């Protein structure tokens, strides 16, 4: 079956110009732009890679990671990068995959699955279908697929525009009309009845037809991004940490209560009551997606951190486990980003201090 919008983006382990990665783990809670090239030292691709390097800060603002692929070896990518910098003014500042076995190109349907051999001896024309752009969401699902001919350079400003639309429509029940640019009017989604729409848009909407309802673009929620290496070290192995996390009934200093609701596959759902900065409490639902043995992706619904999503990455240290943390949290009204980062840091430091004691005593 061919890869389609809404499909889970196939996971893979590979080596890149920035070291080994596992795609889903590397993506974490970010959006991803995975783009491919049929051969190193090709003219159109050279301009594209330089353009992406120049635009990378724009992708960073959108929490979107860039990952390139070319069928040639990593060593050749390194040589090509020098040409890209010399001719385009910017060298690639994102990882590039070397797909010499063509396995990833086949996995993503860019080359026939029955194709034999490796990249050696193949020309750009042989690999001309390996000129795709895939946008992948934090849920690891494919959101966009575009296939370009070798003679047409890609428009990465359009990719940014699509990400803006995808991120907006993921958080609001709207769609973006033709040629939409951020800040322009949007369309209320067809799945929203007029009755429900009035609750969200009490001032009404412009409707040239009953099924086309224009409203101003909703204001996107601001987020605070948090990253801390070595947030804590568990006095337990990775296996024991994952067993502990899947039970959900343990205590945290940062929580008043923390009780398991249920387990479905690798997803653990927990009902919790969390302490607010002022000492009051708020109820929240926490979901842990366990990707043993390397990471746990967590989302929170309700309470001060409603909408938060973050990843714990685990590193074995003999009989101990080091945990790193990165994620994004909703910006709290009336609180500066610096103060919120301090609060988040205190929240996790408190929680992890209790975890270390609890696990050690099991």
Cα dihedral: 82, 88, 90, 93 (round 10):
-70
Measured in whole angstroms, the distance separating CA 152 from the mean position of its chain's CA atoms is: 28
| Spatial separation of the C-alpha atoms in residues 108 and 133, rounded to whole Å | 11
Measured in whole angstroms, the distance separating CA 144 from the mean position of its chain's CA atoms is: 14
Task: Centre a 10 Å sphere on the Cβ of residue 196 and count the other Cβ atoms it contains.
Answer: 12
Q: In the block, which residue shows the tokens 């063509």?
A: 102
| Spatial separation of the C-alpha atoms in residues 65 and 56, rounded to whole Å | 9
Per-residue DSSP letters for 75-120? HHHHHHHHHHHHHHS----S-EEE-TT-HHHHHTTSS-TT--S-ST
Beta-bridged to residue 310, according to DSSP, are 298, 327
Cα dihedral: 183, 184, 190, 195 (round 10):
80
Two structure tokens written together for 96 = 């590039």
45: annotated active-site residue: yes
Question: DSSP code of 208?
Answer: E
Please pick, among 9, 45, 52, 96, the residue that the annotation labels catalytic: 45
Q: Strand (E) positions, the chain?
A: 13-16, 19-22, 31-37, 64-70, 96-98, 132-136, 142-147, 174-175, 186-188, 206-209, 212-215, 223-234, 255-264, 267-275, 281-291, 295-301, 309-317, 320-330
Pick from 188, 10, 193, 16: which is nearest to 95 by CA? 16
Two structure tokens written together for 36 = 């491919």
The contacts of residue 317 (CB under 8 Å, 6+ apart) are 233
- Just list the catalytic residues: 45
């Amino acid at each position: 079956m061919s890869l389609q919008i809404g499909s889970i983006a196939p996971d893979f382990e590979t080596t890149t110009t920035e070291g080994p990665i596992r795609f889903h783990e590397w993506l974490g809670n970010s959006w991803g732009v995975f783009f491919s090239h049929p051969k190193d030292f090709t003219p159109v691709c050279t301009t594209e890679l330089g353009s992406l390097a120049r635009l990378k800060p724009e992708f960073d603002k959108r929490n979107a990671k860039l990952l390139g692929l070319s069928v040639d070896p990593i060593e050749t990518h390194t040589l090509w990068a020098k040409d890209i910098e010399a001719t385009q003014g910017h060298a690639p500042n994102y990882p590039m995959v070397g797909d010499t076995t063509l396995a990833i190109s086949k996995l993503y349907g860019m080359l026939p699955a029955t194709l034999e051999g490796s990249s050696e001896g193949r020309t750009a024309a042989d690999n001309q279908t390996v000129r795709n752009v895939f946008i992948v969401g934090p849920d690891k699902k494919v959101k966009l697929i575009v296939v370009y001919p070798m003679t047409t350079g890609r428009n990465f400003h359009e990719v940014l525009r699509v990400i803006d639309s995808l991120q907006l429509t993921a958080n609001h029940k709207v769609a973006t009309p033709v040629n939409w640019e951020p800040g322009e009017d949007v369309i209320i989604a067809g799945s929203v009845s007029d009755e429900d729409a009035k609750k969200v848009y009490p001032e009404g909407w412009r409707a040239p037809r009953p099924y086309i309802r224009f409203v101003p673009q909703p204001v996107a929620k601001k987020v605070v991004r948090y990253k801390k290496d070595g947030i804590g070290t568990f006095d337990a192995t990775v296996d024991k940490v994952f067993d502990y996390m899947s039970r959900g009934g343990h205590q945290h200093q940062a929580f008043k209560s923390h009780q398991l609701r249920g387990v479905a596959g690798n997803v653990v759902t927990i009902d919790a009551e969390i302490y607010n900065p002022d000492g009051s409490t708020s109820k929240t639902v926490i979901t842990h997606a366990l990707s043993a043995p390397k990471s746990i992706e967590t989302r929170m619904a309700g309470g001060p951190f409603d909408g938060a999503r973050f990843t714990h990455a685990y590193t074995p240290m003999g009989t101990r486990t080091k945990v790193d943390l990165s994620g994004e949290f909703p910006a709290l009204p009336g609180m500066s980003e610096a103060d919120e980062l301090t609060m988040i840091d205190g929240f996790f430091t408190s929680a992890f201090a209790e975890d270390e004691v609890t696990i050690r005593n099991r």
